[in-house]
Amino acid sequence: MERTKLGFGFLACNSALAIYTSWGDAGSVVFVLLADTALVLLFLCLREFEYAAGRGRDNKIKAAVWALTTLLIAMFASTVAPLMPPAVGGVVWTMVAAGAAAGFWALFLHLNP
Question: pLDDT tens for residues 1-20?
Answer: 688 788 888 989 999 999 99
Q: What average pLDDT is seen over the chain?
A: 89
Specify whether the backbone of 54 is left (phi greater than 0), alpha (psi in -120 to 50) or beta.
Answer: left
59-68 pLDDT per residue, tens: 888 899 999 9
Output the pTM of the full model.
0.83
pLDDT at 46: 87
The dihedral of CA 97, 98, 104, 107: what is its sign?
Answer: negative
Q: How far apart are CA 95 and CA 89, in angstroms?
A: 10
- Which residue ranges of the chain lie beneath pLDDT 50? none
Amino acid identity, position 94: T
**pLDDT reported for residue 78:** 94
